[in-house]
Amino acid sequence: PQPSAKLLSGYTIPLVGLGTWKSAKGEVGAAVATALRAGYRHIDCARIYQNEHEVGEALAAVLAEGVVKREEVFITSKLWNSDHDPARVEAACRKSMEDLRVDYLDLYLMHWPVTGNPGPTVQPPLADTWAAMEQLVDKGLVRTIGVSNFSAKKLEALMAGARIQPAVNQVEAHPYWRNEELRAWCAARGIHLTAYSPLGSPDSAAVIGRSADVPSPLKDETVAAVAAELGKSPAQVLIRWAVQRGTSVLPKSVNPQRIAANLDVVGGWELAPEQVAALDALPLQRRMVDGSFWVDARGPYRSTAELWDE
């Protein structure tokens, strides 16, 4: 069995999942089918990725082959910023379910603590959106609910008014942005952390308009040295590092060899304590997805520091 974690909801999340952000239409379906046939049991999706329809086609095809059953696959989707109005939440969820061709989602996340309204406070308030997400659980559309890109402070505020506690926070995490304080804060409260951009998302520069020449953990010398010691690839070292700290991890690939290799971290080998320590000591700490695209002089986030509460 693959390594997994128990969520506050009582359900189990497999630690290695296939990422689908940046996977192009015409490629993502084959990637999902390849992944499921290779043994992946967790696919991370979102409405904003604009490819859920093709993911759903591939999922349905592989389920029809009998390779795997629906209840053996963990499917996540995410509520986009423009659908935070409580009156829009269920329809948004149902649209993702329809595209993904599933009659329940394993996990539904609030994608960002952002609605795009200018002004001093987030409108509608995050607590109101959360209450609408709780109703998705009541109705049986969704098994587990959580958030993404939330700071500890924003999570704490949400938890104070929640009837169903957020079980997951999906955030950027890799050795160049370990996010260790947030991981520990969540762990102390039973909240599971999922690591996005575990390879540093070398393909995200064009998508989010960041500089393409920032240092990449895939090209790090220490990562390369650990990989050489183990006879593994740098990507496998990065994914294994995430698994060993108890996070789930979402490497994205549309390449069949890399999809298979990225799952080959779940048995038979591990990082030694001193190898983990070397990765935990890399001095450069820098987000790839810095959230600067949500900064607005009118608020609610006038700086990335306000977005991340740093």
User: Which residues are marked as active site?
Assistant: 49
How much of the chain is helix, strand and coil, in % rounded to 5? 45, 15, 45
- Name the residue nearer to ligand A2P (CB basis): 175 or 300: 175
Among positions 45, 62, 158, 235, the unique one binding ligand A2P when judged by CB under 6 A: 235
Does 53 belong to an annotated binding site? Answer: no
71 C-beta neighbours (distance < 10 Å), count: 8
- Residue closer to ligand A2P (CB basis): 193 or 218: 218
Distances (CA, A) of 276 to 17, 119, 149, 268, 288: 21, 44, 25, 17, 21
Burial annotation 24-39 (CB, 10 A radius, 16+ → b, else e): eeebbbebbbbbbeee
- Which residue of 253, 291, 294, 300 would you call a contact of ligand A2P, by CB under 6 A? 253
Least Å distance between CB 170 and ligand A2P?
13
Q: Is 50 left (phi over 0), alpha (psi -120 to 50) or beta?
A: left
> Binding ligand A2P by CB under 6 A: which of 17, 19, 166, 291?
19
Cβ distance to ligand A2P smaller for residue 24 or 91 = 24
Binding pattern for the stretch 169-208 against ligand A2P, x by CB under 6 A and - elsewhere: ----------------------------xxxxxxx-----
Binding status of residue 55 toward ligand A2P by CB under 6 A = no
* Three-state secondary structure call for residue 49: helix
Q: 71 or 213, CB closer to ligand A2P?
A: 213
Binding site residues, ligand A2P, CB under 6 A: 19, 197-203, 218, 233, 235, 251-255, 258, 261-262
Residues comprising the binding site?
Answer: 111
